[in-house]
Amino acid sequence: MFREVSIIGCGMTKFGRQRNKNLSDLLVEASTNTIRDSSVGEEDIQAVYVASMLSGELANQTAVASAVTDELGLLPAAADRIENGPASGGSAVKNACLAIASGMYDCVLVVGGEKQTHVPGNEVTDRLATMTHPTAEYIHGVTLPSLAGMFTRLYMKKYGVERKHLAMVAIKNHKNALG
């Protein structure tokens, strides 16, 4: 019924503060690296799925998918921004897979990113808080970092995880980001 789907290329940008680049620049760089890594030409790409949960709020650009598609010279490829909170990337991959599996497209590009380091932390927290439930959480001041903290404590208690175990994850992430 559905066609087989494969990921045939992968690319990314350097992790870290990149003050001289905006979100579109980073997405274009990652896309270019992905296209280079794949076995397809730009003319083969029929649609672009851009995952970004806060591009409108933090980068002042809601049509980021169209901008990236245009910057890459992929027109007339379709361009879709996928915004689904922290699950935006997974949702973009899911939509791309379904589009190929259904026969709608043969070749698509998926790219995702956020740029938050140029915005003060309290503003980022305010924007992230809009992803909470408007009457059950947001009006009471619940933020995503506070929810993450509560769920982390529950996880630690349920599975016997200690702070040192979580610290090891942060150390690994930092090491990989520098690598």
pLDDT category of residue 178 using cuts at 50, 70 and 90: low
In the sheet that 47-51 helps form, which strands lie side by side, from edge to edge?
78-82, 47-51, 108-112
Task: Name which of 119, 121, 120, 139 is nearest 130 in CA terms.
Answer: 139
Task: Name which of 48, 175, 171 is nearest 105 in CA terms.
Answer: 48
Q: Which residue has the tokens 């690598």?
A: 179
Q: Which domains does the chain have, with CATH numbers?
A: 1-131 (3.40.47.10), 132-178 (no CATH)
Averaged over 34-52, what is the pLDDT?
96
User: Does 179 score more than 60 pLDDT?
Assistant: no
Q: What's the whole-model pTM score? A: 0.82
**H or E segment to which residue 108 belongs:** strand 108-112
pLDDT in tens, 125-168: 788 878 878 787 777 877 788 888 999 999 999 999 999 999 99
Neighbours of 49 (CB within 10 A): 25
Distance, in Å, from the CA atom of 127 to the CA atom of 131, rounded to the nearest integer, reads 8
Q: Is the dihedral of CA 137, 138, 139, 142 positive or negative?
A: positive
Taking the alpha carbons at both ends of the chain, their separation in whole angstroms is 42
